[in-house]
């Protein structure tokens, strides 16, 4: 598209150019004046900085730059200084040693337009509001007692999921569709109190439309929106992302308003109402006068959206990548099913309490999270004050990125890092709970994903039962070498082309009945 502009007087052109360059260089002049000792990095262009070096898969672009400039690297995204950490040692200094100083969040457009003006857990600024939200998650929403109370829901939905796969036996299926339905049904019942997304005449939104909304949410929360880094062109919305964010925000708000109104009406009808789901818990907390920061209606909606989104996409993406790797290596499936047959037997399904006795299946999950981290770049942090990392200065306001995709491929940490080898996790204590900086699928420190215990349960139990209940193969005599393993980037990183597979039951057929 060509846009025709009327000619401007020379003095207007000169003045506009001068102001633009002044705004762009002001930050750099300050850094130079202070004589910061910044990490190494590529030379940058005026205005755009190093954005020209970042492709459609930013984590892979940064991975390539890391090979040249090292595990701590300085770049410019427009006028925004960026420091990238790409080793376990640097990640530890970022996320543990300097955790409090680097716990801020940048004010990106996605947080403003898709999460109620930074009101959710992911994008809220570090401070009293976020601290209160985190406390709510740890003590109320994701407490051991509450997660245990919802176990029967997860068990019922998993059984229904396995039944549905059984009915699709010997047919080519899109695994992602089934996995996302499982995750949404589990999370809907736990968070919203019922399956809002079932196909029915009274449904307020179709499952397909809601899945599209979630896909859009994760995409838009991970994109590099140029206007966030070159503020003076933000109003142009050159990539069209802000328009999409505003549209998506309105769709989610319409759905959340419906959910809240239903819950509020239900609570009015019962004296001394007992919370049945997480929205009930949030509404009850919103009425608590002792809260340090009042939880407003938009906050309840933001947290609810966070719980739904965070509880669905991560597990779906991880399990789909796991099966993608396994269909290429049937010998790994064979070893896993031998473990399952020995520990579980062939007369029942795997339960959550069994996972501790299935080290090889858990090793498959860990290896998947190493090679295909759901969030290859942890949600960006921002320095709230000047600090020092590995002898380098990090100025206040710097964007902090941790590239877990590169850490998972570090040859100094992992043997044959590009190979899918679950055995590497047998006999060691490397875990995914934020203590081992070689493997950080859920992050660590203050900003660690508060819902990771639930995510881990869903990933482990669904993967274990998929391996226990079915044999897996690619469709139409497709060769494993031809399986496309490309990815797309967002806040999470799913497969570019959803996995098509054929399933064959391997247990007695009566186990699959409802």
Which residues define the annotated binding site?
449
Question: What would the two tokens of residue 415 be?
Answer: 């043997």
Cα–Cα distance for residue pair 382/125, rounded to 1 Å: 10
User: Residue 444 in 3-state DSSP?
Assistant: coil
Q: Which residue has the tokens 């801020």?
A: 104
For CA atoms 180, 197, 460, 222, the dihedral sign is: positive
Please list the residues that pair with 402 across neighbouring strands.
85
Q: Supply φ then ψ for residue 80, to 5 degrees.
A: -100, 120
Tally of residues, the chain: 514
Cα–Cα distance for residue pair 338/324, rounded to 1 Å: 20
Question: What would the two tokens of residue 44 be?
Answer: 């940058």
User: Residue 338 in 3-state DSSP?
Assistant: helix
Q: Is 205 exposed, middle or buried (0-12, 13-18, 19+ CB in 10 A)?
A: middle
User: Residue 365 in 3-state DSSP?
Assistant: helix
* Residue 288 falls in which region: left (phi positive, over 0), alpha (psi -120 to 50) or beta: beta
Alpha helix stretches (DSSP H) within 199-240:
207-220, 226-229
Residue 492's nearest CA partner among 207, 220, 115, 175 is 220
Cα–Cα distance for residue pair 275/353, rounded to 1 Å: 26
Going by C-beta distance under 8 Å and a sequence separation of 6 or more, which residues neighbour residue 274?
none
Strand 172-174 relative to strand 500-505: parallel, antiparallel, unpaired?
Answer: antiparallel
Binding residues for heme: 449
End-to-end, the C-alpha distance of the chain in Å comes to 56
Alpha carbons within 13 angstroms on the beta-carbon side of residue 127 total: 10
Give the 3-state secondary structure of 177-193.
HHHHHHHHHHHHHHHHC
């Amino acid at each position: 598209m060509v846009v025709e502009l009327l000619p401007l007087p020379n003095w207007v052109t000169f003045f506009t150019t001068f102001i633009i360059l002044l705004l762009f260089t002001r930050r750099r002049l300050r850094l130079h004046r202070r004589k910061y000792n910044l990490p190494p990095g590529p030379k940058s262009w005026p205005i755009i900085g190093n954005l020209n070096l970042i492709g459609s898969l930013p984590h892979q672009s940064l991975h390539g730059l890391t090979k040249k400039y090292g595990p701590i690297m300085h770049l410019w995204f427009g006028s925004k200084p960026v420091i990238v950490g790409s080793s376990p040692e640097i990640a530890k200094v970022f996320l543990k040693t300097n955790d409090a100083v680097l716990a801020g969040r940048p004010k990106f457009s996605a947080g403003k337009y898709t999460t109620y003006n930074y009101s959710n857990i992911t994008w809220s600024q570090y401070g009293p509001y976020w601290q209160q939200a985190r406390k709510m998650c740890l003590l109320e929403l994701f407490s051991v007692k509450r997660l245990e109370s919802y176990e029967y829901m997860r068990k019922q939905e998993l059984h229904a999921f396995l039944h549905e796969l059984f009915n699709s036996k010997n047919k080519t299926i899109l695994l992602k569709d089934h996995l996302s339905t499982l995750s949404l049904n589990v999370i809907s019942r736990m968070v919203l109190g019922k399956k809002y997304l079932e196909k029915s005449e009274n449904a307020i939104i179709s499952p397909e439309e809601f899945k599209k909304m979630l896909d859009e949410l994760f995409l838009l929360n991970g994109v590099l929106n140029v206007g966030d880094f070159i503020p003076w062109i933000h109003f142009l919305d050159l990539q069209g992302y802000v328009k999409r964010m505003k549209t998506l925000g309105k769709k989610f708000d319409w759905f959340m308003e419906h959910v809240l109104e239903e819950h509020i009406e239900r609570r009015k009808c019962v004296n001394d109402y007992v919370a049945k789901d997480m929205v009930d818990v949030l509404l009850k907390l919103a009425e608590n006068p002792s809260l340090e920061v009042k939880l407003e209606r938009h906050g309840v909606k933001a947290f609810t959206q966070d719980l739904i989104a965070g509880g669905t996409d991560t597990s779906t993406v991880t399990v789909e990548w796991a099966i993608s790797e396994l269909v290429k290596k049937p010998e790994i499936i064979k070893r896993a099913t031998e473990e399952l047959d020995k520990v579980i037997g062939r007369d029942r399904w795997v339960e959550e309490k069994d996972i501790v006795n299935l080290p090889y299946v858990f090793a498959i999950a860990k290896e998947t999270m190493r090679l295909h981290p759901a969030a290859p770049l942890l949600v960006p942090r921002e320095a709230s004050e000047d600090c020092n990392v590995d002898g380098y200065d990090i100025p206040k306001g710097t964007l902090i990125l941790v590239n877990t995709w590169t850490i998972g491929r570090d040859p100094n940490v992992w043997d044959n890092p590009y190979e899918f080898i679950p055995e590497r996790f047998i006999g060691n204590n490397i875990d995914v709970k934020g203590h081992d900086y070689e493997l950080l699928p859920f992050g660590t420190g203050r900003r660690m994903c508060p819902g990771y215990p639930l995510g881990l349960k869903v990933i482990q139990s669904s993967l274990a039962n998929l391996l226990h209940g079915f044999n897996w193969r690619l469709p139409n005599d497709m060769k494993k070498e031809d399986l496309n393993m490309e990815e797309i980037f967002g806040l999470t990183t799913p497969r570019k082309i959803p996995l098509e597979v054929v399933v064959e039951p391997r247990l007695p057929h009566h186990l699959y009945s409802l």
